[in-house]
Amino acid sequence: MRIYSCDTLNLTASVLVIGAFDGVHRGHQQLIRQAKTQADWMQVPLVVYTFDPPPRVHFQKKLQLASLPVKLERLQRLDVDHTVVAPFDSFYASREAKVFLNEIRNMNPLSIWVGKDFKFGVNRNGDIDTLKQNFHVNSLDLVCCQDGEIISSTRIRHLIANNMTAKAEQLLGWQTVNV
Ligand SMILES: Cc1cc2nc3c(=O)[nH]c(=O)nc-3n(C[C@H](O)[C@H](O)[C@H](O)COP(=O)(O)O)c2cc1C
Ligand SMILES: Nc1ncnc2c1ncn2[C@@H]1O[C@H](COP(=O)(O)OP(=O)(O)OP(=O)(O)O)[C@@H](O)[C@H]1O
């Protein structure tokens, strides 16, 4: 897997997945695996575009589930070809949605995978519909755990804060000692 900073990756074709992916939990893993299957079928590289730190850590000072090296190792294990890491600071967060769209246009995505609630650009001005006006977009139904609750980084943060490590690891699909 090759790693790039934002604004540096140009490709003639790709499949792109975008998100914070804090912890690379089992929901993230399913999203990335679906995208990988499609990328292999299309014979184009799979690109993950992610943020460091995760926007919730930057804005809301939430617990970070995995450091950048750990996140990158997990993405590598999922057979991602290229990962773009945007340094998520106040300057980056002030980018207009259309500037972000221009950046990803340089990767010529044949298909983009995001969750239904995906937002981007200053003040979260861009959404999945904005993305759909410009690209072919796929979204996956949110993956739930055995008890039917949606898996999310937020839920895993709560479990860790309440010392429910075994349950957190079950939703993560990785051991928390690796953070
Ligand atoms: C260019 C850009 C600017 C952003 N600016 C803001 C912002 O001003 N406020 C905010 O809460 N989130 C901002 N975000 C973060 C998004 O709301 C969102 O958390 C991010 O795209 C990751 O998506 P995810 O949370 O679904 O993983 C920005 C994202 C991007 C790509
Ligand atoms: N359970 C899930 N099943 C499928 N896709 C998911 C799941 N959770 C998140 N995603 C998708 O993965 C991408 C990255 O999501 P994100 O990093 O915001 O995860 P999150 O678990 O929702 O985090 P947080 O709880 O901090 O908001 C988004 O496109 C999101 O919709």
Task: Specify the CATH number for the domain of residue 7.
Answer: 3.40.50.620
Task: Find out whether the beta carbon of 68 lies less than 6 Å from any atom of ligand 1.
Answer: no
Measured in angstroms, how far is the CA atom of residue 152 from the centroid of ligand 2? 6
Angle at 117 between CA 104 and CA 45, to 5 degrees: 35
User: Before 69, cis peptide (omega within 30)?
Assistant: no
Report which bound ligand comes closest to the CA of 31. 2
Task: Find out whether the beta carbon of 173 lies less than 6 Å from any atom of ligand 2.
Answer: no
- Residue pLDDT, tens place only, 148-163: 889 999 999 999 999 9
Residue 13 lies in a domain: yes
Q: Quick one: average pLDDT of 7-24? A: 97
Residue 170 lies in a domain: no
Task: Find out whether the beta carbon of 123 lies less than 6 Å from any atom of ligand 1.
Answer: yes
Q: Is the pLDDT of residue 115 over 90?
A: no
Residue 178 lies in a domain: no
Q: Is the pLDDT of residue 139 over 70?
A: yes
Phi-psi region of 102 (alpha: psi -120 to 50; beta: other; left: phi over 0): alpha
DSSP code per residue over 132-153? HHHS-EE--PPPB-TTSPBP-H
Residue 43 lies in a domain: yes
Model pLDDT, residue 178 = 52
Q: Is the pLDDT of residue 24 over 60?
A: yes
Residue 20 lies in a domain: yes
Residue 163 lies in a domain: no
Q: Cα(137)–Cα(111) distance, rounded to whole angstroms? A: 6
Report which bound ligand comes closest to the CA of 155. 2
Q: Is the pLDDT of residue 177 over 60?
A: no
Residue ranges making up the domain that contains 25: 2-141
Model pLDDT, residue 127 = 95
What is the count of structural domains for the chain? 1
Residue 130 lies in a domain: yes
Residue nearest to atom 13 of ligand 2 (CA): 19
Q: Cα(149)–Cα(16) distance, rounded to whole angstroms? A: 27
- Residue pLDDT, tens place only, 55-73: 999 999 999 999 999 999 9
Q: Cα(108)–Cα(61) distance, rounded to whole angstroms? A: 34
Residue 153 lies in a domain: no
Task: Find out whether the beta carbon of 98 lies less than 6 Å from any atom of ligand 1.
Answer: no
Q: Quick one: average pLDDT of 37-42? A: 98
Amino acid 114 reads V
Task: Find out whether the beta carbon of 114 lies less than 6 Å from any atom of ligand 2.
Answer: yes
Model pLDDT, residue 143 = 82
